[in-house]
């Protein structure tokens, strides 16, 4: 019993010493600090987890809003389907309604493209002047076919074709003649201007008179009978134009 009592007294002394010593206090404090740090870490983890949950919820909400409020044109079901535009935005004046494929974009028309250069009419006529000979030979071949043809329907078709080709060829020659006269007038005026004369510009009526004089003079040299027919035709045309301006009552009396 004495031994047990001495042991207990020794243990009590050790405890009192430890309680009074600073090392024991530090041990106690550190244990408390460890517990506090663990509690703080757990609270931080809880906060982080709550923040992550909030971020995920915000993302989901933003995705839902983006699906509802889509900015710009919607995606098309098919590439050939028309583009769906928002009715809230004003439509611009210049916009591409139909998409042009690349194969069409690569093609170009030389008549309307600047890469082909400017159109020079005189050079074009000179380089393709051999076509007039082909046209003359074609007219002669059709005349031979008409003389040999016996079927009246085919003969009338060939005659219409001949008349069409002849009138077209005559019209082209008449345009060339007028262009030649215009070129001569310009050349003459430039020579006079270089000598010191003031520039003179012809009226449309004067130009028509000069063209008619040139036409009738050439017809007189070639065949006077053709000239008489042309003058008679011109006279009838002018009379029909003047007849339109006569009052209706006077027409009946005449």
Instruction: Quick: pLDDT tens for 66-77.
Output: 444 445 556 777
**Closest by Cα among 143, 134, 210 to 178:** 210
Greater confidence (110 vs 141) lies with: 141
Name the residue among 163, 159, 182, 161 with its Cα closest to residue 171. 163
Q: List phi, psi (to 5°) of 219.
A: -65, -35
Mean pLDDT of 8-14: 64
pLDDT at 43 exceeding the cut of 90: no
Average pLDDT over residues 156-160: 93
Distance CA(84)–CA(5), nearest Å, equals 99
User: Which tens digits make up the pLDDT trace of 178-201?
Assistant: 988 999 999 988 998 998 888 888
Domain boundaries, the chain: 2-52, 131-197, 202-254
C-alpha span between 157 and 102 (Å, rounded) = 46
The predicted model gives 158-179 an average pLDDT of 92
Percentage of the chain modeled with pLDDT above 70 = 66
Between residues 170 and 247, the one the model is more confident about: 170
Residue 165 has pLDDT above 90, yes or no: yes
User: Nearest CA to 40 among 127, 118, 32?
Assistant: 32
The Cα–Cα gap between 119 and 113 comes to 11
């Amino acid at each position: 019993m004495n031994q047990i009592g001495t042991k207990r007294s020794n243990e009590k002394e050790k405890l009192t010493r430890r309680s009074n010593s600073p090392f024991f206090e530090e041990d106690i404090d550190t244990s408390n600090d460890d517990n506090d740090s663990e509690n703080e870490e757990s609270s931080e983890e809880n906060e982080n987890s709550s923040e992550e949950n909030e971020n995920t919820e915000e993302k989901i909400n933003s995705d839902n809003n983006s699906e509802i409020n889509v900015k710009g044109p919607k995606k098309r079901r098919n590439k050939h389907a028309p583009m769906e535009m928002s009715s809230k935005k004003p439509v611009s004046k210049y916009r591409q309604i139909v998409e042009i494929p690349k194969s069409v974009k690569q093609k170009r028309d030389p008549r309307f493209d600047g890469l082909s250069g400017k159109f020079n009419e005189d050079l074009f006529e000179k380089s393709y002047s051999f076509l007039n000979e082909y046209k003359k030979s074609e007219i002669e071949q059709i005349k031979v076919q008409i003389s040999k043809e016996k079927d009246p329907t085919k003969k009338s078709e060939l005659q219409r074709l001949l008349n069409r080709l002849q009138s077209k060829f005559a019209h082209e020659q008449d345009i060339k003649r007028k262009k030649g006269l215009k070129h001569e007038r310009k050349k003459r005026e430039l020579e006079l201007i270089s000598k010191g004369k003031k520039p003179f510009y012809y009226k449309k009526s004067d130009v028509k008179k000069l063209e008619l004089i040139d036409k009738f003079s050439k017809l007189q040299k070639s065949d006077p009978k053709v000239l008489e027919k042309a003058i008679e035709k011109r006279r009838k045309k002018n009379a029909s134009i003047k007849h339109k301006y006569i009052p209706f009552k006077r027409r009946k009396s005449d």
